[in-house]
Amino acid sequence: MTANAHALAAYNQRKGFLSWLWTWLSTVDHKRIAILYLFGGGLFFVIGGIEALLIRIQLAVPQNDFLVGSTYNEVVTMHGTTMIFLAAMPLVFAMMNAVVPLQIGARDVAFPFVNALGFWLFFLGGIVLNTSWFLGGAPAGGWTAYAPLTTEFLGTGSDFYLLGLQLSGAGTLMGAINFMVTIINMRAPGMTFMRMPLFTWTSLITSTLILFAFPPLTVGFFLEFFDHIFHANFFNTAKGGNAIIFEHIFWIFGHPEVYILVLPAFGIISEVVATFSKKRLFGYTSMVFATVLIGFLSFMVWVHHMFTVGLGPMANSLFALATMTIAVPTGMKIFNWLFTMWGGQIHFTTANLFAVGFVPTFVMGGVTGVMLAVPSADSQYHDSYFVIAHFHYVIIGGVVFGLLAGLFYWWPKMFGKILNETLGKITFWTFFIGFHLTFFPQHFLGLIGMPRRYFTYFPDEGFNTWNLISSIGAIGMAIGAIVLVINIVITTAKGQKAAGDAWGIGRTLEWSIPSPPPEYNFAQTPLVKGIDTFWKEKMEGNKKVTPAEPLGDIHMPNPTILPFLMSIALTIAAYGFIFANQTSASRPLCLVIAAFGIGLMLLLMLIHSIKDDPGFHYHKEEIIEIEKGAE
């Protein structure tokens, strides 16, 4: 063991809260970062869920006065923003961090430092956004933050939105580049592109979408930020600005964002369905093709969010056609999942229940999606509860079901213990029934004319019954989520210990190593012989995957606190800009603070550049010891 590793081991032995905290703040291990993303995203998921319940309480009965006016606007805005940017995105990254390096037989990600930085930027960005509740009011302009409403007519809450999301967006972008390079450069020998597990494929395409979709969002938010804080005129019509530009920029990001979230869910479903049907995924090649095609088309359809803006029949028709085209590759995927199950030995574990529940639910979201893609009909649906129903079927029925399937499936790999299946099934059924009860009636509410984002309705409008049913359904989803939390606590305390191949029928490389994996993942880099290479080896009677190299020393990066400090520096800068807008007296001081934050960031970057990390080695003898202990 090198001096560094010795110091580290000694450090870890010194128990205590501070050293525990230090290991998490300074970790660069993708498996630990996955856990950070999981609990960070989980925290914001709970906050966003509570906001959803508040909305449903307000709307349960007509002319309710539980949340009115701008308070309701704040809760609605924060619910949407939190769920998309601070819950769904990090949970996707949690899955990617936990699984992708293991699926491609890699010991680490390409940029462990950047990986940690990405997480801390996301987390502190989320904190910045949520502190708005205590510092003068939350943003209230909707999750889309349209201009000029956000830039001219709302208070300081908008600044928290713009700066907080700028931070977490930067983190997401870094994470995406990291995963693209990891998947392209660090696959084990024999792992050709067309042998990659589907979750890895969807992670690659999602990362690519992030790379090209987030920069427009960054620019759009900067433009609003300049308008709001430095009185620029991008969206100020009085001085020649044009607010429609923001809508274009936002949706050039916003539409790919939907696929950024749902493609990894598709990947998870593909893994879970194949594993628990004990069959190879049906139509692997067409699945890959469909994923790439969806990724490509996702950039061609943003105007379908803007049909009612009035861009003219030609633009609307072209974008309507492009939108409907996406149904084709998505349909291919649905059929492939069904054919995978066909004739398989289906195990209805919780993970698979979520995957099976996903299929019809997501199809319903897809069908309403095609309905919304017809511009003339969209004029009727636009800004009504029909749209709310549609995208909750896609985002919950697609993304959340997928993530929950992945959570139950890979939990043993991440934590070494299997989540309780009985409690898991209670979660599934309450969540599934609660979900449909909540959102199915909203289709009808939309069709009979209930507009979205309104905080109340009159008793004689015919909205009463459906709204009440919808609010009752929300209770079901809440119970499902609470049972999941209880499940996690019970499992952590006294759960059943998981084997390396936790389900006994694992197909891909992550199941060929212990649960949880050692820091270096693979003692020997595996040799990949085909799709589902671990399954192939098991069928040939091998307990382990054939190694591609002899056992030897393994080089690992050292932990570092710099990513956390860098995120703190940018957080200081963000608060500086936010408060610069609050009172004119303190404006110069606040701008100095912002400049200080940016300066600190540059200084930390310089330190990172100067200080080369030599890393440390796991020696051959240690690895043999660790591997023995894990068996």
Q: How far is the CB of 552 from other proteins (least distance, A)?
A: 10
Piece of the chain touching other proteins by CB under 8 A; list 170-178, 270-278, 436-444, 492-500: 170-178
The CA-to-CA distance between both ends of the chain, in Å, stands at: 22
Q: Is 240 in the site for other proteins (CB under 8 A)?
A: yes
Angle CA(99)–CA(101)–CA(106) in degrees, nearest 5? 150
Concatenate the DSSP letters of all residues of 221-245 into one string.
HHHHHHHHHH---TT-GGGT--THH
Q: How far is the CB of 246 from other proteins (least distance, A)?
A: 9
Q: How far is the CB of 269 from other proteins (least distance, A)?
A: 27
3-state class (DSSP) for residue 387: helix
Q: Is 173 in the site for other proteins (CB under 8 A)?
A: yes
Q: How far is the CB of 413 from other proteins (least distance, A)?
A: 25
Q: Is 171 in the site for other proteins (CB under 8 A)?
A: no
Torsions phi, psi for 242 (to 5 deg) = -140, 110
Residue 154 corresponds to which amino acid?
Answer: L
3-state class (DSSP) for residue 273: helix
Piece of the chain touching other proteins by CB under 8 A; list 77-85, 352-360, 434-442, 601-609: 601-609
CA separation for the pair 289, 297 (Å, rounded): 12
Nearer to other proteins, 456 or 581 (CB): 581
Closest CA to 103 of 209, 203, 35: 203
Residues touching other proteins, count (CB under 8 A): 44
Q: Is 146 in the site for other proteins (CB under 8 A)?
A: no
Q: How far is the CB of 148 from other proteins (least distance, A)?
A: 12
| H/E element, 205 | helix 198-230
Piece of the chain touching other proteins by CB under 8 A; list 19-27, 228-236, 348-356, 589-597: 228-236
Q: Is 292 in the site for other proteins (CB under 8 A)?
A: no
Q: Is 186 in the site for other proteins (CB under 8 A)?
A: yes
Taking CB under 8 A as the criterion, which residues in 537-566 touch other proteins? Answer: 553, 555
CA separation for the pair 229, 381 (Å, rounded): 35
Query: Do 526 and 500 contact (CB within 8 A), yes or no?
Result: no
Cis peptide bond prior to 516, omega within 30° of 0:
yes
Nearer to other proteins, 173 or 418 (CB): 173
Q: Is 312 in the site for other proteins (CB under 8 A)?
A: no
Q: Which of 132, 158, 178, 277 binds other proteins (CB under 8 A)?
A: 178
Piece of the chain touching other proteins by CB under 8 A; list 147-155, 372-380, 435-443, 604-612: 604-612
Place of tokens 């979900």: 435
CA 144, 149, 154, 159: dihedral to nearest 10 degrees?
50
Q: Is 2 in the site for other proteins (CB under 8 A)?
A: no
Q: Is 3 in the site for other proteins (CB under 8 A)?
A: no
CA separation for the pair 357, 362 (Å, rounded): 9
Range 108-122 burial, b when 16+ CB lie within 10 A, else e? bbbbbbbbbbbbbbb
Question: Two tokens at 479?
Answer: 């119970």
CA separation for the pair 601, 585 (Å, rounded): 26
Nearer to other proteins, 208 or 368 (CB): 208
Q: How far is the CB of 395 from other proteins (least distance, A)?
A: 24
Q: How far is the CB of 596 from other proteins (least distance, A)?
A: 17
Nearer to other proteins, 187 or 507 (CB): 187
Nearer to other proteins, 247 or 501 (CB): 247
Q: How far is the CB of 476 from other proteins (least distance, A)?
A: 41
Query: Do 149 and 247 contact (CB within 8 A), yes or no?
Result: no
| H/E element, 434 | helix 421-447
Q: Is 218 in the site for other proteins (CB under 8 A)?
A: yes
Binding mask 81-120 for other proteins (x = CB under 8 A): -----------------------------xx---------
Q: Is 226 in the site for other proteins (CB under 8 A)?
A: yes
Concatenate the DSSP letters of all residues of 556-597 into one string.
EPPP-SHHHHHHHHHHHHHHHHHHHTT-STTHHHHHHHHHHH
CA separation for the pair 210, 259 (Å, rounded): 10
CA separation for the pair 286, 332 (Å, rounded): 8
Query: Do 476 and 448 contact (CB within 8 A), yes or no?
Result: no
Torsions phi, psi for 451 (to 5 deg) = -80, 150
Nearer to other proteins, 299 or 429 (CB): 299
Q: Which of 2, 71, 236, 558 binds other proteins (CB under 8 A)?
A: 236
Q: How far is the CB of 221 from other proteins (least distance, A)?
A: 11
Q: Which of 212, 296, 339, 429 binds other proteins (CB under 8 A)?
A: 212
Q: Which of 184, 485, 561, 595 binds other proteins (CB under 8 A)?
A: 184
Place of tokens 């560094």: 4
Nearer to other proteins, 240 or 504 (CB): 240
Q: How far is the CB of 450 from other proteins (least distance, A)?
A: 35
Nearer to other proteins, 239 or 543 (CB): 239
Q: Is 465 in the site for other proteins (CB under 8 A)?
A: no
Spacing of C-alpha 551 from chain mean position: 36
**In angstroms, what CA-CA distances link 255 with 61, 84, 210, 296, 590?**
33, 12, 11, 12, 35
Largest Cα–Cα separation, the chain: 77
Nearer to other proteins, 40 or 295 (CB): 295
Q: Which of 2, 70, 71, 233 binds other proteins (CB under 8 A)?
A: 233
Taking CB under 8 A as the criterion, which residues in 244-273 touch other proteins? Answer: 245, 249, 252
Q: How far is the CB of 350 from other proteins (least distance, A)?
A: 37
Q: Is 232 in the site for other proteins (CB under 8 A)?
A: yes
Residue 565 corresponds to which amino acid?
Answer: L
Nearer to other proteins, 309 or 606 (CB): 606
CA 61, 66, 67, 69: dihedral to nearest 10 degrees?
80
Query: Which residues bind to other proteins, rule: CB under 8 A?
Result: 110-111, 173, 177-178, 180-181, 184-186, 211-212, 214-216, 218-220, 222-223, 226-227, 230-234, 236, 238-242, 245, 249, 252, 553, 555, 602, 606, 609-610, 612, 617
